[in-house]
Amino acid sequence: MASLWGGRFEKDMDDIVKKYNASIFFDQRMYNEDIDGSIAHVTMLGKQGIVSNEEKDRIIAGLEEIRKEIAEGKILFTVEDEDIHMGIESRLIDKIGDVGKKLHTSRSRNDQCQVDIRLYLRKEIYEILNSLCYLESVILEKAEKYEDKITVGFTHLQHAQPITIGFVFMAYFQMFKRDIERLTDTLERLNYNPLGACALAGTTMPIDRHLTSELLSFTAPTENAMDTVSDRDYSLEFLCDASISMMHLSRWAEEFAWWNSSEFSYIAIDDSFCTGSSIMPQKKNPDMAELIRGKVGRVYGDLMQLLTVMKGTPLAYNKDFQED
């Protein structure tokens, strides 16, 4: 399959380079966001008279067919697709012909991938916020249930003062409350529209970035095209928020592991949340708490990886950014 960007090239990519260059196996998860961004973009092109209404309708119908086929598992992406943007666009051209090529008018993969990631991350943050709010409701319920049950408060893992179990629960409530506030704050900064930044310097075509912002529920367009295509601050900010929240979960998991031990015997974790030993049948292991503790390392690693990727990149777009 000839690459959509291969106009000046006389030789095809080496097979090893194709595999090393491709991001399709990571970014195919964003196919819905990619199609949503494309529909908003071509709707704007139609309103501005850059494409005809008939062309706009054919493109949108083709994109919706592709969305349905991906959801039904009828489209399987390969390394030849390179990324989700080209994977969808090449199939659109196959489906509706050359009119499909007009979708890319006044757009680059540089601003397109930014749209996809912002839309995807916005959706994911909403899901995480819902989960955290549910967790908070459970904590409140338990804090109320045990508001008068006395336990030991520790400093330096030494007995310090008598407190209530409800008081302990509410300490974690405050941690997760701050997590919710941080993520909500991140949403505010991430929710700006990159479409129209193109490769790095915008376009001379008479596009309407405010319309695409409205169609995609962005607050407003981004203000500088060079910054737009090279910005990953919002991803880093999300990873910082996620790392702090995971740290809070890990601290709580640590408490549960200690409290569940024979030495403490403060709590008995339900059997359905534990595992046993193949050689020591008396044991009931707090594996869920330990796994929460362990998975924190993944999130910390993602944060450090992206910070390291970004630290040596000049303006504007660099292929390193694919690692986001």
What distances in angstroms separate CA 218 from CA 21, 95, 119, one per listed residue?
A: 30, 30, 9
- 41 is a catalytic site residue: no
Q: From the candidates 52, 131, 261, 277, which is the catalytic residue?
A: 277
Q: Please, what is the Cα angle at 177 between 324 and 190, to 5 degrees? A: 30
Instruction: Tokens for 226, please give them.
Output: 């060079």
**How many other CB atoms sit within 10 Å of the CB of residue 5?**
10
Q: CB–CB of 144/166 below 8 Å?
A: yes
156 is catalytic: yes
Give residues with Cβ within 8 angstroms of 222, minimum separation 6.
192, 193, 194, 197, 228, 231
For the chain, give the number of residues. 324
Query: Pick from 277, 273, 279: which is nearest to 291 by CA?
Result: 273
**Contact by Cβ (8 Å): 141, 169:** no
Of 156, 262, 265, 278, the catalytic one is 156
Catalytic residues: 156, 277
